[in-house]
Structure 1
Amino acid sequence: MSLRLILNGKKAGEESLRSAISQFRRSHPLQVRCTFEGGDINRLINEAINEQCTRLVIGGGDGTVNEAINALMKLPFEQRPELSILPLGTANDFATAAGISTVPLKALQLAQQGTAYLVDTVKVDNHAFINVASAGFGAQVTATTPVQLKNLLGGGAYTLAGLVQALSFKPYGGSVELPGVEKEQFKIIAAAVCNAKQAGGGQILAPDALIDDGLLDVVAFTEFDFSDVAQVITELTNNVKNQGRWVKRFQVPWLKWHTDESMPLNLDGEPITERLCEFIVKAKSVRLVLPEHCSLVSHNHKLI
């Protein structure tokens, strides 16, 4: 199989990556295209499709993968090529949860030899994501963590920035609608709408999440006092669905979320700001190359 790598241009000069590509090319053909500015991934994916490429490798972090997912979801299903991931970001949350190696040569070998699975994506208004949408405090932390700090500390930068910002964080008021549940008012500190399991540099938010079950795993932290932190942590650790006083969990195919004021959202590393959002699972909408026995897909998953 001939692959095409669409690479985040900021990573093109890394010697370890260039060495891995050279070594891979000794036994397999590989075309490389690099991004330079916004919109390039969408353009390069369309170019690859026009040139009859049936499997693409996207090289970058969670935000780069998100761009590729959004580009694919603009196309009719039958036109979407298979997608594999070469993790090159700071956190690489989705790739890590999927068991995709961060060693470039190993990731390229998986892209060449691995099996594509039909997996879910999530639509949020005019956006799409494959991993996690965080809201409130979590999104604010990710959006405002300096790039230099991310590069220096890796995923731990999010935790450090979070501790600093927690001292002055204001909860967001609003309402949420879920299937089979009456509209509920809330004051939220942070929330995550999860297709996969982790975000924020390795934080496991939805340990039971699967990317082929047609469901969102939702976890929300409602307003609490600092004296309640120990109990909040206990509720989070227990992972009991919809049983906590401050930590609420649901598994649903959709939800509607309305806030009293604009709230920051982070979709796989890409920040947006909204007041009214509708999250809808787009079941089995992307063909994604994954390792054998990947923990993000169900054991009875039918291969393509």
Structure 2
Amino acid sequence: MAQSSKFVHLIINGKSAQIPEVREAVAALREKGHALDVRVTWEGGDGMRMVREAADQGVSRIVAGGGDGTVSEVVAGLMAVEAARRPTLGILPLGSANDFAHGVGLPLEPQPALELALSGGGHAVDVARLGDDCFINMATGGFGAEITTSTPVALKRLLGGGAYSLMGMLKAWRYQPYQGVLSWPEGELTTPLFLLAIGNGRQAGGGQCLAPAAKLDDGLLDVLVVRHFSSLHDMRQLLSEIERLPEDGEFVRTIRTSRLSFRSDARFPLNLDGEPRHLEHFEVSLEPRAIMLAMPDTSELLNASPRP
């Protein structure tokens, strides 16, 4: 592990700042000699502002304390700073799902997580851009984005085999597929969409691995397209394909690309690292190896070696 940075800011979600285990972890790391200043967010935009202030002060490492949304806001703040001045990012997972932390292999207990965030070696990782937004883990769209916003267990039922429950839900909601056109440098696809997942990381929706081959430092997006289905028989075929993730199945298609665009005649629900959007068209691109992330050297999401 690398030596502790001299100047470190912990930017923590206000909902988590009073958790006893977090306060104990901060005290313990300070006792070990870490110079750790705590900044608490109160409302949207605070995280980005605090990142900018930290960079202006020459802070060498920032720790994002919170869930996937907090991490995403801090990443957006880092991306708004010129590359040469971006602090290394550490993560203290404090959300309900912590999909990104799980995928990376970060500790989930506050003290070991904070220790790694402060002292772990930095790895250069990609960051995805969608218009003015950034995300480091995953964007999910379509019916999946709607249910992960309100009822995460429904997505688990889809991918875990609760077919009858999901079919009943679709009928009750009078579900209609989202017509869309996907374009990428190597191809184009027009299809009625049930679920779209665009991964830099691997999992979303509280533990669903939607992009098992994704790496954070390969310069590629791992895209999962699930086409509309209309019967229980179709769903059984879909679930079978989800297990195999074919390049081009009857209902499931996987794409690896550096850039993806989407257009539709209707507003398409999209969830960026836990933050909801509704867009008729968008383009996602990657900025390769854009930030340094403190993470285990053995993480399955890495191809490359850490920077010295």
In structure 1, the residue matched to 2:88 is: 82
Tell whether 2:298 aligns with 1:293: yes
**Structure 2 residue corresponding to 1:123, chosen from 100, 119, 129:** 129
Between the aligned partners of 1:301 and 1:275, the Cα distance in structure 2 is 39
1:149-171 Cα offsets, whole Å, 9 max, x none, are xxxxxx64764799474332221
In structure 1, the residue matched to 2:219 is: 214
Shift, 1:201, TM fit? 0.4
- What's the secondary structure of 1:229's corresponding residue? helix
In structure 1, the residue matched to 2:261 is: 256
For 1:70, give the aligned amino acid.
Answer: A
Tell whether 2:188 aligns with 1:166: no
Shift, 1:238, TM fit? 0.8
Between the aligned partners of 1:143 and 1:58, the Cα distance in structure 2 is 22
Q: What percent of counterpart residues are identical?
A: 38
Change in 2 beyond 3 A, CA 1:165/1:286: farther
Shift, 1:142, TM fit? 2.1
Q: How many residues align?
A: 292
Between the aligned partners of 1:56 and 1:116, the Cα distance in structure 2 is 12
For 2:14, give the aligned amino acid.
Answer: G
8 Å CA contact retained: 1:138, 1:190: yes
Between the aligned partners of 2:37 and 2:248, the Cα distance in structure 1 is 51
* Matching of residues 36-75 of structure 1 within 5 Å: 36-75=42-81
- What's the secondary structure of 2:214's corresponding residue? coil
For 1:207, give the aligned amino acid.
Answer: P
* Matching of residues 142-161 of structure 1 within 5 Å: 142-145=148-151, 156=153, 159=156
For 1:236, give the aligned amino acid.
Answer: I
8 Å CA contact retained: 2:297, 2:306: no
- What's the secondary structure of 1:278's corresponding residue? strand
- What's the secondary structure of 2:91's corresponding residue? strand
1:31-61 Cα offsets, whole Å, 9 max, x none, are 1110111111111111111221110100000
In structure 2, the residue matched to 1:148 is: none
TM-score (norm: length of structure 2): 0.90
Tell whether 2:192 aligns with 1:192: no
8 Å CA contact retained: 1:141, 1:165: no
TM-score (norm: length of structure 1): 0.91
In structure 2, the residue matched to 1:106 is: 112
Where do 5+ consecutive residues of structure 2 fail to align?
159-164
8 Å CA contact retained: 2:52, 2:81: no
For 1:86, give the aligned amino acid.
Answer: L
8 Å CA contact retained: 2:179, 2:191: yes
Shift, 1:178, TM fit? 1.6
Between the aligned partners of 1:165 and 1:63, the Cα distance in structure 2 is 27
Tell whether 2:99 aligns with 1:93: yes
**Structure 1 residue corresponding to 2:35, chosen from 22, 29, 37:** 29
- What is the root-mean-square deviation in Å for CA atoms of aligned residues? 1.7
For 1:141, give the aligned amino acid.
Answer: I
1:86-139 Cα offsets, whole Å, 9 max, x none, are 000010000110010110100111022211011001111111101000000111
For 1:268, give the aligned amino acid.
Answer: D
8 Å CA contact retained: 2:156, 2:208: no
User: 4+ residue stretches of structure 1 with deviation over 6 A?
Assistant: none
Between the aligned partners of 2:49 and 2:131, the Cα distance in structure 1 is 22
1:235-276 Cα offsets, whole Å, 9 max, x none, are 111122x23110010100111111120011000001111011
- What's the secondary structure of 1:25's corresponding residue? helix
Of stretches 127-136 and 172-181 in structure 1, the one that deviates more from structure 2 is: 172-181
